[in-house]
Amino acid sequence: MLGTEDTFHQEGMAVKKIGALEAGGTKMVLAVYDETMNELDRISLPTEDPSVTVPKMKAYFDGHQVDALGVGSFGPLDLNPASPTYGNITSTPKLKWRDYPLLRELLAGRNIPAAIDTDVNAAVIAEMELGVARGCENAVYMTIGTGIGGGVAVHGKTVHGLLHPEAGHILLQPHPEDPNPRGVCPYHAGCLEGLAAGPAIGARIGGDASLLPDDHPTFEIEAYYLAQMCMNLTLTFSPEKIILGGGVMNRKSLFPMVRQKTLELLGGYIQVDRVINHMEEYIVPPMLYPLSGLIGSYLLGKRALDGD
């Protein structure tokens, strides 16, 4: 949906513009939308030091004179609006971004409505409002790529609380044939990200997993870990859909394996029709990928503009 930047309402009022930022560890995607989600412009920038990247992002949004801003960012983030460090990136391993006041720097000198959430929380609200989880009250979005992150929405709202869900680091049982059951997470032995993110697969096979055929045994191990994840999410959050995105899930042959193993692990304990008979409607790819996070960031900005 492409519009033009000089669109005007019939009564001659300038259309309100909403800035959206999906802040990732390797790239930043920035866009400007009107209030009906027509995309007016979009760019992407490499994620360098904040002293380099943030002034460029601020200049972009200031130059487009956005009326509101929504940010979906890598984390962990401070999402407590009452906190003096609200909108800061906190304990990230990306040292230059640690304790960085992302939202405050983007808004410096401008008084506009704004909201920030994790990139995966942004993705889950986008999929619930416009994508594969339309009509769901509760859903989980997991991204399985260079890391693993999880966004959770309950009764239509993303979960914050103590911090925000960090489901990428839940502990799993090792696969009996995994040659590296400790995994590669620097923080935890045997956590999901350390066992099942892209770098974990690469470490397990000592090379580039994207070159392997679908029937390579490493994907059986991968599916086992992702199925444990889906079982734990099912039992913990009772979502109506589990959405699996990210680069690793571009290998579509993983989906049937993960569904089958999740059913096996659940052991008949969850007697719900969707899980027993329609697993293909329960564990699903995102509909808006790769724009789920960006569209979710737009929705955050739109809600801030509307005062929601």
Q: Which stretch binds Zn ion (CB under 5 A): 11-19, 178-186, 249-257, 283-291?
A: 178-186
Q: For Zn ion, which residue of 58, 64, 104, 169 counts as binding (CB under 5 A)?
A: 169
Q: Which among 19-27, 88-96, 164-172, 276-284 is the span making contact with Zn ion, rule CB under 5 A?
A: 164-172
Among 8, 43, 187, 214, binds Zn ion (CB under 5 A): 187
List the one residue from 32, 185, 195, 223 that touches Zn ion (CB under 5 A).
Answer: 185
CB closer to Zn ion, 200 vs 242: 200
Question: Among the candidate windows 85-93, 141-149, 186-194, 220-228, which touches Zn ion by CB under 5 A?
Answer: 186-194
Complex with Zn ion: residue 169 or 251, whichever CB lies closer: 169
What secondary structure, in 3-state letters, does the chain show?
Answer: CECCCCCECCCCCECCEEEEEEECCCEEEEEEEECCCCEEEEEEEECCCHHHHHHHHHHHHHHCCCCEEEEEECCCECCCCCCCCCCCECCCCCHHHCCECHHHHHHCCCCCCEEEEEHHHHHHHHHHHHCCCCCCCCEEEEEECCCEEEEEEECCEECCCCCCCCHHHCECCCCCCCCCCCCCCCCCCCEHHHHHCHHHHHHHHCCCHHHCCCCCHHHHHHHHHHHHHHHHHHHHHCCCEEEEECHHHHCCCHHHHHHHHHHHHHCCCCCCHHHHHCHHHCEECCCCCCCHHHHHHHHHHHHHHHCC
User: CB of residue 138 vs Zn ion: minimum separation in angstroms?
Assistant: 25
Residue nearer to Zn ion on the CB measure, 183 or 301: 183
**Residue closer to Zn ion (CB basis): 199 or 247:** 199
Position among 30, 125, 167, 191 found at the interface with Zn ion (CB under 5 A)? 191
Residue 172 interacting with Zn ion (CB under 5 A) = no
Per CB under 5 A, residues contacting Zn ion are 169, 185, 187-188, 191, 193
